[in-house]
């Protein structure tokens, strides 16, 4: 018996700074390069035959390119290159690239493949580099850093089930699935699994987003009994379902503390954690034509054990375009700044924080109360000193602290008593997400906390969570409260499949505290235009704690196939300055309560919401607009 004591909660830590990175595209672009700037891995001994371990040869070529400097290209021509971790324990990335300047690692698109034999390690890690690129490579793993099997029996009362691991997949006895007493390790290392509809090869609708595992024991052969931390997690399961257990251990392509980084024409069939990581970077950050999907011709149900693109503490948001993300067991893209807790109020303009990672004089910060979600104010940093001391250009009234600072932030078991600070200058401001596909994975399509963002012309299908979430996460904790975001020309189809998200929105825009929505409408200047939402969860769009929202030319359609106890096209709560223009709703769900629900917390009259040019058809016979404000003052509708 292998006993694992797990803590409930989200299974990906904001402190995760995983390592790794990937190759490049066809090398005709190198024809004009001086011979001294082109470093072919075969010249350093690589075979590319899919048998020999080519790690040492590739490392030698990279070392030579880094030494040569700007313009250097590492060439991996057509072939299958087996690679492995650079450390004896098998956890360090295969290629740790440090202080490279203007270096490109380039393969032939569709013809250059790297196969890692180290399931606990990432592949490429760029650290403290400038203007580096990874192009034209495919990445896979053998052995795989996850397993999957068929559910053969379910005991709902005891919260256990039996599963038989599929042939060709690792058993749960492999070391990368072993987790010691989870009370002593970060939550990101808890073991958990996801339920799939085997026939559809999709996340099973209505099942839990992440089923935390408490124990597992062998039953003989490839059969195992699995115990769940929350017994109720077994209720949606049935014999014949598939169950996937991921191990989160490394990153395929990691760019950390870099100034300018690009991943282009990279295909990932398997990632033992994140696919692409931008951590504490600045300059131009680009992910273009990155394809993440389960390897064709296999029975694999997933492609990555964490996010598609993960962005933390970046001074500029990435350009994500023409990519395809399928089969991950976490979000398509996440961008945010990490929380800094206030440990001391020294003076009206001086605070002490529990850390000042990536903070500089001149940065703009946001101070908020995590319990209520109240944003106390913003200020500019005059100075950042030792021991977490910062000086503001003006006072922010009401800032408070607590004695339970570090316990609350490290264990995540206590609600945060102290106010928290987010750096608006390192939240990935200015991100652009354009012409991408996000579908068939466990997670949200996008979960973005940055400011000044553009999300346009993307497709979101069958994600377990909402398609787009623009919201801070105080319980995780990630922020800041976002603002100034445009969402336009996107298409959503059947998103929001997990047990919680089914009752939420395809698009969610909100500010939250630990106790609910923020009281001061800190999310500002949101434009949601010309989007099409087909077969939504219970709500098409959920908008809360916002000021200045324009909804124009959007369309929501439901044929009634996904029915809920109660549903609505759009729900507005605690908002002001909302404009709805040209909305079309065609909803055949029998229990849809309204086209637009205006909560009692929305401002009255034109100060709250103005609507015009709407075409709302509901088969339920319910009203187009359900105005819950008291005393009743109907929303202004322009003819």
Question: What is the per-residue pLDDT for 591?
Answer: 94
Looking at the fold, whether 226 and 282 belong to one and the same domain comes out as no
Q: Which of 330, 362, 387 delimits the end of a domain?
A: 330
Is residue 3 one of the residues assigned to a domain?
no
Looking at the fold, whether 57 and 40 belong to one and the same domain comes out as yes
* Residues 365, 524: Cα–Cα separation, whole Å: 16
Output b/e per residue, 349-368; b: 16+ Cβ within 10 A: ebbbbbebebbeeebbbbbb
Looking at the fold, whether 208 and 260 belong to one and the same domain comes out as no
Q: What is the domain extent for residue 232?
A: 146-246
Looking at the fold, whether 461 and 473 belong to one and the same domain comes out as yes
Domain count, the chain: 4
* Residues 2, 172: Cα–Cα separation, whole Å: 10
Question: What is the per-residue pLDDT for 617?
Answer: 96
Question: What is the per-residue pLDDT for 506?
Answer: 98
Other C-beta atoms closer than 10 Å to the C-beta of 298 total: 12
Looking at the fold, whether 632 and 505 belong to one and the same domain comes out as yes
Looking at the fold, whether 418 and 478 belong to one and the same domain comes out as no
Cβ distance 292 to 325 under 8 Å? yes
Looking at the fold, whether 276 and 341 belong to one and the same domain comes out as no
Q: Could you report the per-residue pLDDT of 519-577, keeping only the tens digit for each?
A: 999 999 999 999 999 999 999 999 999 999 999 999 999 999 998 999 999 999 999 99
Secondary structure of residue 530 in the 3-state scheme: coil
**Which regions of the chain are under pLDDT 50?**
1-28, 182-189, 407-415
Picking from 447, 451, 454, the residue whose alpha carbon sits closest to that of residue 482 is 451
Cβ distance 25 to 110 under 8 Å? no
Picking from 597, 602, 594, 458, the residue whose alpha carbon sits closest to that of residue 530 is 458
Cα dihedral: 613, 469, 309, 321 (round 10): 10
Looking at the fold, whether 37 and 133 belong to one and the same domain comes out as yes
Is residue 20 one of the residues assigned to a domain?
no
Looking at the fold, whether 222 and 269 belong to one and the same domain comes out as no
Q: What backbone phi and psi angles, to 5 degrees, belong to 407?
A: -65, -45
Is residue 436 one of the residues assigned to a domain?
no
Question: What is the per-residue pLDDT for 6?
Answer: 40
Other C-beta atoms closer than 10 Å to the C-beta of 374 total: 19
Looking at the fold, whether 227 and 272 belong to one and the same domain comes out as no
Looking at the fold, whether 570 and 527 belong to one and the same domain comes out as yes
Cβ distance 582 to 613 under 8 Å? yes
Q: Could you report the per-residue pLDDT of 481-517, keeping only the tens digit for each?
A: 999 999 999 999 999 999 888 999 999 999 998 888 9
Q: Which of 194, 213, 246 delimits the end of a domain?
A: 246
Q: Which of 246, 277, 312 delimits the end of a domain?
A: 246
End-to-end CA distance of the chain: 69
Q: What backbone phi and psi angles, to 5 degrees, belong to 167?
A: -60, 140
């Amino acid at each position: 018996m292998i006993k694992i004591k797990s803590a409930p909660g989200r299974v990906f830590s904001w402190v995760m700074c995983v390592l790794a990175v990937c190759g490049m595209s066809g090398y005709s672009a190198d024809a004009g390069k001086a011979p001294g700037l082109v470093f072919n891995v075969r010249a350093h001994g690589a075979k590319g035959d899919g048998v020999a371990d080519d790690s040492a040869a590739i490392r030698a070529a990279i070392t030579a390119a880094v030494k040569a400097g700007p313009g250097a290209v590492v060439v991996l021509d057509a072939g299958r290159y087996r690679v492995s971790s650079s450390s004896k324990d098998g956890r360090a990335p295969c290629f740790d690239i440090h202080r490279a300047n203007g270096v490109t690692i380039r393969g032939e698109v569709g013809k250059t493949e790297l196969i890692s034999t180290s399931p606990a390690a990432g592949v490429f890690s760029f650290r403290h580099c400038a203007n580096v690129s990874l192009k034209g490579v495919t990445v896979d793993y053998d052995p795989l850093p996850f397993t999957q099997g068929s559910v053969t029996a379910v005991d709902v009362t005891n919260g256990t089930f039996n599963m038989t691991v599929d042939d060709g997949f690792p058993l749960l006895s492999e070391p990368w699935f072993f987790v010691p007493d989870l009370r002593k390790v970060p939550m990101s290392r808890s073991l958990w699994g996801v339920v799939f509809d085997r026939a559809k090869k999709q996340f099973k609708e209505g099942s839990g987003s992440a089923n935390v595992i408490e124990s597992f024991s062998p039953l003989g052969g490839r059969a195992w009994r699995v115990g769940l931390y929350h017994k109720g997690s077994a209720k949606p399961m049935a014999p014949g379902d598939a169950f996937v257990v991921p191990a989160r251990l490394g990153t395929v392509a990691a760019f950390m503390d870099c100034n300018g980084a690009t991943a282009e024409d990279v295909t990932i069939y398997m990632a033992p954690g994140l696919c692409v990581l931008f951590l504490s970077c600045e300059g131009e950050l680009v992910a273009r034509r990155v394809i993440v999907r389960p390897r064709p011709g296999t029975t694999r149900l997933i492609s990555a054990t964490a996010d598609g693109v993960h962005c933390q503490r970046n001074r500029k948001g990435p350009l994500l375009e023409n990519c395809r993300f399928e089969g991950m067991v976490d979000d398509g893209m996440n961008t945010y700044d990490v929380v800094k807790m206030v440990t001391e109020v020294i003076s009206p303009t001086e605070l002490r924080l529990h850390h000042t990672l990536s903070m500089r004089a001149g940065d703009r910060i946001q101070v908020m109360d995590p319990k209520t979600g109240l944003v106390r104010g913003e200020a500019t940093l005059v100075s950042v000193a030792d021991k977490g001391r910062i000086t503001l250009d003006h006072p922010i009234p009401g800032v408070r602290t607590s004695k339970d600072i570090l316990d609350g932030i490290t264990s995540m078991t206590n609600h945060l008593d102290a106010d928290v600070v987010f750096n608006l200058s390192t939240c990935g401001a200015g991100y652009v997400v354009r012409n991408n596909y996000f579908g068939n994975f466990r997670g949200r399509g996008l979960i973005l906390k940055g400011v000044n963002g553009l999300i346009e012309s993307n497709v979101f299908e069958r994600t377990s969570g909402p398609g787009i979430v623009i919201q801070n996460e105080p319980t995780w904790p990630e922020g800041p409260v976002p603002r100034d975001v445009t969402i336009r020309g996107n298409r959503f189809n059947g998103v929001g499949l997990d047990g919680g998200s089914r009752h939420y929105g395809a698009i969610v825009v909100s500010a939250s505290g630990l106790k609910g929505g923020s009281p001061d409408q800190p999310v500002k200047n949101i434009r949601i235009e010309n989007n099409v939402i087909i077969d939504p969860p219970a709500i098409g769009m959920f908008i809360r704690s916002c000021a200045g929202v324009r909804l124009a030319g959007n369309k929501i359609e439901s044929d009634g196939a996904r029915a809920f106890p109660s549903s609505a096209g759009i729900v507005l709560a605690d908002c002001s300055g909302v404009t709805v223009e040209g909305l079309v709703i065609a909803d055949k769900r029998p229990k849809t309560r309204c086209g637009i629900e205006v909560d009692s917390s929305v401002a009255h009259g034109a100060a709250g919401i103005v609507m015009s040019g709407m075409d709302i058809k509901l088969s339920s016979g319910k009203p187009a607009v359900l105005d819950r404000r008291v005393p009743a003052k109907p929303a202004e509708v322009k003819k």
